[in-house]
Structure 1
């Protein structure tokens, strides 16, 4: 029970701190930062909306609202998928890439300061393996 409770409280506190640092210094939320990162890692800086929702562990509806807001802010744009008329891509704009590049050092510094540097290399490996297993299980890829 201690492990579970400490995880719940710690994950919440860590997310809140990282969000606050990004918001105060760059005016970007942690959720928006994650969308920018995912898109930046893809060829053409774009991906299907459904895949984006899966990658950020959010509902398609929530990501759709988030993307619409980010599109109004000029951080990304939506494009129809040329292969099938129903699919929609979210695509990172130059402005979105600039926001990501400006805020990334703050995020990396925060993750290191508030978590990574507190763990030994072995603890980092254990944590990575534990969450590889948890994520695979929750996605139905047990193994």
Structure 2
């Protein structure tokens, strides 16, 4: 196995383990899946805290069907609402609610703490340090 291939497999392993631990913490402490947390985060950073469904799908790297199901769950919890695009009635926006913003803000410290711990435990800090130190080197 080449060095690049071995490094790639190590990265995949680290990411999978870190994401599994983040998912556990978010679900247990905040009733959110990792994709749901990321959706709330993307919406919070978007202009007017809203995105078209296909834009949200692109940000999350999920298909339209998966995003629709996820948004339905978020709506049932009062964390988002859907709104029709005023210019194109076929377009549907997902809008972050105050309750959704509060849930995100409540989960953020636990997310950050779990991320730090999982990166340390699974060797992700070393991979990030290597990657970012190389990015800072002059060409």
Aligned to 1:118: 125
Deviations 1:63-122 (A, max 9, x none): 011101111111101000001111100000111111001001111122223227833874
Residues 1:83 and 2:82 aligned together: no
Question: Does the alignment pair 1:74 with 2:78?
Answer: yes
Once residues 107 and 77 of structure 1 are traced to their aligned partners in structure 2, the CA distance between those partners, rounded to angstroms, is: 24
1:12 is displaced (CA, Å) by 1.1
Distance in 2 between residues matched to 1:120 and 1:26, nearest whole Å: 29
Gaps of 5+ in 1: 130-143
Aligned residues: CA RMSD: 2.3
**TM-score, normalised relative to structure 1:** 0.81
Q: Distance in 2 between matches of 1:11 and 1:37?
A: 19
Match of 1:9 in 2: 13
- Between the aligned partners of 2:68 and 2:84, the Cα distance in structure 1 is 14
SS in 2 for 1:77: strand
Secondary structure, in 3 states, of the residue corresponding to 1:115? helix
CA distance in 2, matches of 1:36, 1:121: 25
The structure showing larger relative contact order (alpha-carbon pairs under 8 Å, at least 6 residues apart) is 2
For residues 3-23 of structure 1, the C-alpha deviation after alignment (integer angstroms, 9 at most, x for no partner) is 122122221111100100111
Please give the TM-score of this superposition, normalised by the length of structure 2.
0.83
Separation of aligned partners in 2, 1:99 and 1:74: 10
Cα deviations by residue, 1:20-45 (Å, 9 ceiling, x for unpaired): 01111112111110000000001211
1:132 is matched with which residue?
none
CA distance in 1, matches of 2:7, 2:44: 34
Aligned length: 129
Bigger radius of gyration: 2
Runs of at least 5 residues in structure 2 that lack an aligned partner in the other structure: none
